Structure 1
């Protein structure tokens, strides 16, 4: 499936911002199932310097430095992407059991950006939480194939948790969203990651986009989409990383567009930074994911 993606962020400040440095993570990192072309980034006002680099995880970062005072910043990212179907039918694929997978991940001598070892342990947001581990204990068994474990956690989160865009913010602790059983895709992905790691399953946070389908008879609204998040579990050498979308209870396949993968949201946040001044800030965004027929 081929898509045109356009993402616009505009930040307005109540006062002048001085000596600002922003980290932008909107350019898709290389991923086996997709090919990105025609990537463009527009920034207004023009930054003093732009430094492009690979992040510590599967993420591309652009560091923008703005030397002159500003009260508004606009960043627009656009690209074309061809998303291929996965090489296996995940719903019926064979995978190691949880016990077998844990041993495989711990014994694998690989410390590259996508190696399972980097996603086995606690991270800044997705730390060890006994309450979520206890919840997972009621769902999983050691001899369960890891694909089945992922499907079980994904389906249970989808059933037990209500999507509510006003219930949480980007900095809401995972445990708060878990206890409230309300949240957004970011919260659901973090709950699944914490639960999986409690069982020794390598689990990662994926930032990207989702093809949205309008109701029958309705036109797709340009700019009405948003960034999306889901969890990825390492399912052994044969399957590798498999995306599980608990918000929609589906595997991440051709409707999901990969941008970045990290231990949690803090590794792949689309935009963050530091600056002097600014006062109150307001962010406006629009996202358009358009399939090319």
Structure 2
């Protein structure tokens, strides 16, 4: 599948702010089964310079500063992406058992942003939680193949938790969403990551997009999509990283568009920054994922 993706973010301030600096993480990182072309980033007011680089984990990051005071900032990211279907050998595989996987991950001499070692231990948002670990123990064991374990976690979250866009905020701790049994894709991904790491499975948070389909007989609404989040589990050298989407109880496939992965949301947040001033900030966004064939 080929898609045209646009992501428009607008920041409005009640009064002008000064010395604003921003980090943008919207340019897709290279990923198997995905080819990106025609990437464009537009910023208004236009900064003197935009510096492209890599984030702390597997994410592209653009940085810029605005020297003059601003009352509004408009950021638009656009690109074309082609996604291939999930390979058949992934869907039909079971992968190594969890005990074997833990040993492999700890011994693998790879400290890069795609190596499993970076995703075994606690991170700022996905900290260890005893209640989540005990909950996951009810359907995981050391002999279980990793793909089976990933499906079990994914299906349990989908079956036991209710999607509610108004139930949590971006800074809601995962344990609160866990006890309330509701949340959004960010919450479900963090819960799955904490549960997986508690049982020795390297687990990463993925930021991206998901093609959505309109109800039967209705036109697709332009700009009505949003960013999505799911979990990558390292499933051994044979399979590498495999995506699990607990929000939709499905393996990540051709309708998922990869932007980047980190230990949790804090590593891959699409936008963050600082400014001087005490003005209230409001953020608005519009995302459109349009199929091209």
Q: What is the aligned partner in structure 2 of residue 72 from structure 1?
A: 72
Give me the whole-angstrom Cα distance separating, in 2, the residues matched to 1:130 and 1:160. Answer: 18
1:130 aligns with 2:168: no
Q: How does 1:275-286 map to 2 (within 5 A)?
A: 275-286=275-286
Give me the whole-angstrom Cα distance separating, in 1, the residues matched to 2:177 and 2:18. Answer: 35
Q: Is the 8 A contact 1:71 1:278 kept in 2?
A: no
Give the secondary structure class of the aligned counterpart of 1:191.
helix
Report deviation, 1:51: 1.3
Give me the whole-angstrom Cα distance separating, in 1, the residues matched to 2:280 and 2:57. Answer: 31
Q: What is the aligned partner in structure 1 of residue 273 from structure 2?
A: 273
Q: What is the aligned partner in structure 2 of residue 208 from structure 1?
A: 208
CA RMSD across the alignment:
0.9
Give the secondary structure class of the aligned counterpart of 1:150.
helix
Q: What is the aligned partner in structure 1 of residue 287 from structure 2?
A: 287
Give the secondary structure class of the aligned counterpart of 1:238.
helix
Give me the whole-angstrom Cα distance separating, in 1, the residues matched to 2:38 and 2:52. Answer: 17
1:235 aligns with 2:263: no
Give the secondary structure class of the aligned counterpart of 2:197.
helix
TM-score by length of 2: 0.98
Q: What is the aligned partner in structure 2 of residue 53 from structure 1?
A: 53
Q: What is the aligned partner in structure 2 of residue 111 from structure 1?
A: 111
**CA separation of 1:42 and 1:278: change in aligned 2, threshold 3 A:** farther
Give me the whole-angstrom Cα distance separating, in 2, the residues matched to 1:144 and 1:231. Answer: 19
Residue-pair matches, total? 293
TM-score by length of 1: 0.98
Give me the whole-angstrom Cα distance separating, in 2, the residues matched to 1:253 and 1:109. Answer: 29
Q: Encode CA deviations 1:55-102: one digit per residue, 9 max, x unaligned.
A: 121100001101100010000000000111223343421300010100
Q: How does 1:1-293 map to 2 (within 5 A)?
A: 1-293=1-293
Give me the whole-angstrom Cα distance separating, in 1, the residues matched to 2:36 and 2:210. Answer: 15
Q: Gaps spanning 5+ residues in structure 1: where? A: none
Give the secondary structure class of the aligned counterpart of 2:132.
helix
Give me the whole-angstrom Cα distance separating, in 2, the residues matched to 1:267 and 1:64. Answer: 18
When structure 1 is superposed on structure 2, of 131-140 and 89-98 the one drifting more is: 89-98
Give me the whole-angstrom Cα distance separating, in 2, the residues matched to 1:279 and 1:165. Answer: 27
Give me the whole-angstrom Cα distance separating, in 2, the residues matched to 1:12 and 1:278. Answer: 13
Give me the whole-angstrom Cα distance separating, in 2, the residues matched to 1:185 and 1:94. Answer: 25
Give the secondary structure class of the aligned counterpart of 2:283.
strand
Give me the whole-angstrom Cα distance separating, in 2, the residues matched to 1:159 and 1:23. Answer: 36
Q: Is the 8 A contact 2:94 2:148 kept in 1?
A: no
Q: Is the 8 A contact 1:52 1:62 kept in 2?
A: yes
Report deviation, 1:278: 4.6
